[in-house]
Every structure is written in structure tokens, then in C-alpha cells.
Amino acid sequence: MKHTRWVRYRIDGAEASFGTLHDDIVVEHRGQMFGHNEPTGRTALLSQVQLLAPVEPTKVIALWNNFGELRAKLSLAHPEEPLYLLKSPNSWSAHGEPIPLPRGGGKVAFEGELGIVIGKRCSAATESEALSFVFGYTCANDVTVADILFRDASFAQWTRSKGLDGFCPIGPVVATGLDPSTLTVKTVLDGQVRQQYPISDMTFSVAQLVSRISLDMTLLPGDVILCGTSVGVGSMKPGSLVEVEIDGIGRLANRYGFPT
């Protein structure tokens, strides 16, 4: 599959459209992003469109303890199987959208991650066939209210701490034709590099993640698997700009600190 960057967008409040991004030109397509499609002949400047979340998932699956360097730093055990949680549908948002302040307050952390985008229905896939169900890759920020996570000693609140409104920006594009093992995730907070780690340090590869998760639940077109994060996670202050950059995909930028 050739390297192509797909976007969803809106122009002047019109209905959502999709197409491909070529430098700063958006080429509109008709049909289905994950099926047959073709250019309509219409184009627009990137500066003229409002980018939307590049896909509309039925679920976003987020990995924990999937990078060796962070596991060593936290003295965690090596997982025997992928450890994951689900992000709520109200949490995903687009490039450029603000990350709201949690109404209950608390310390809020960024986590720059690679997102795997599923392109066709996937159930009980073998590891050898798993990559055939992957459409492409995107940038993601798995935002977390750190204060909530272990507030109750009897129950780790993963869903609540990571499921607040706007707490899963993804985008700006879905890129096809990439080898994920060659990618590096860079997270920049207010102009300072805070994370820069290789995807090759993942405990479970893309193929292993897709295969093993699909044994538990059917993955549908547009679903996203967040690969987990590595060292350098930190907290944001109101007004902070957090940017997640991955070569071949682009830069996902969101500002934190706007109330809902």
C-alpha cells in the first residue's frame, strides 16, 4: 500500500467530507474511506478546511505497559498478554480542538502515542494475517487525570481517568504505507521535547496487538488501538500546547485548559 494521508474535514459548516492530503492541498473523494472511493475533482487549501477526527471509531483501545523502557523505569513485570482499556466515545476529538479542564479538577497528564487504525472487520485474526486488517496509523494523545486513577485503593479508575470529554485527540491524518517498526513518537509540550521514543521498543508488535485483541472483541473499520506510551509522560498546565509528532503522519496539536 502506497504512502497516502487521509483526512476528514468540513468546509464552512457543511457536511463532513473525506479525502487525501498532498502538502497543503486537500483532494476530495467520494465513496468510502475503507472501501471503494475516487476523487471528485474538487480540491481545497488545508488552511480553508476544519480538520475533523480522521476516523469515527466504534471504540478506542488503549494499551498499558507496552514499552520496555517505561516498564524498566517503573519496575513493572513483563506482561504475558496485552493489557488494555477502552476510551469512551465522548473522549475522542480532532487536531486543533481544545482539551477541556476536568470539572472536578486534578493533575492532567499527556501521553503521546501511535494509533493503529483498523480498515476492515477483524475477528480472531492470526498474527500472520493481522496486518491485512490494518488500514493505517495516526497520532494520539491518551490524556489522563492522574489524581483520579488510584484515588480509591480498592479500584483503579482507568475508564474514568481517561474517558473525560476531549481526552483522546487523534489525527491529524491517517497515513497508509508506513512500517510502524521504523517510527518514532515525539511529544512536545510548550515547545520543549518531553517524549521521543521508538515504536520498535513495543512489547507487543502491531500484528500481535491486532491478533490478540481480536480474539477478545471484533474490531471494526475505523476502530483505533493506541499502542501505549513510554518515558517522558508529564502534566499539563492550563494554556499548555501539547503536540504529538510522528514522521510520515504529521503533527497533532491541542491546547489544554479550556472549560466545557
User: Do 73 and 181 fall into the same domain?
Assistant: yes
User: Do 44 and 127 fall into the same domain?
Assistant: no
User: Could you tell me which residues come within 8 angstroms of residue 165 by beta carbon, excluding any fewer than 6 positions away?
Assistant: 90, 91, 100, 260
pLDDT at 13: 82
User: Do 164 and 180 fall into the same domain?
Assistant: yes
User: Do 116 and 215 fall into the same domain?
Assistant: yes
- Domain final position from 35, 52, 69: 52
Q: Where are the beta strands (DSSP E) in 37-167?
A: 37-45, 50-51, 60-64, 83-87, 92-93, 99-100, 108-110, 112-118, 134-141, 144-145
Q: Across-strand partners of 219?
A: 122
Rg (CA), the chain: 18
User: Could you tell me which residues come within 8 angstroms of residue 80 by beta carbon, excluding any fewer than 6 positions away?
Assistant: none
Q: Which domain holds residue 34?
A: 1-52
- Domain final position from 10, 33, 52: 52
User: Do 213 and 237 fall into the same domain?
Assistant: yes
Residue-by-residue pLDDT tens, the chain, 260 positions:
789 999 999 999 889 999 999 999 999 999 999 999 999 999 999 999 999 999 999 999 999 999 999 999 999 999 999 999 999 999 999 999 999 999 888 999 999 999 999 999 999 999 999 999 999 999 999 999 999 999 999 999 999 999 999 999 999 999 999 999 999 999 999 999 999 999 999 999 999 999 999 999 999 999 999 999 999 999 999 999 999 999 999 999 999 986 54
User: Do 48 and 161 fall into the same domain?
Assistant: no
- Cα–Cα distance measured from residue 60 to residue 85, given in angstroms and rounded to the nearest whole number: 9
pLDDT at 43: 97
pLDDT at 257: 87
User: Do 85 and 123 fall into the same domain?
Assistant: yes
User: Could you tell me which residues come within 8 angstroms of residue 192 by beta carbon, excluding any fewer than 6 positions away?
Assistant: none
User: Do 7 and 95 fall into the same domain?
Assistant: no
pLDDT at 115: 98
Domain CATH code at residue 7: 2.30.30.370
pLDDT at 259: 54
User: Do 33 and 96 fall into the same domain?
Assistant: no
Domain CATH code at residue 161: 3.90.850.10
**pTM of the full structure:** 0.97
Pairing of strands 234-235, 144-145: unpaired
User: Do 38 and 104 fall into the same domain?
Assistant: no
pLDDT at 260: 43
pLDDT at 190: 97
Task: Tell me how many domains the chain contains.
Answer: 2
Contact 187, 193 (CB under 8 A): yes
Hey, how many other C-beta atoms are within 10 angstroms of the C-beta on 131? 15
User: Do 42 and 78 fall into the same domain?
Assistant: no
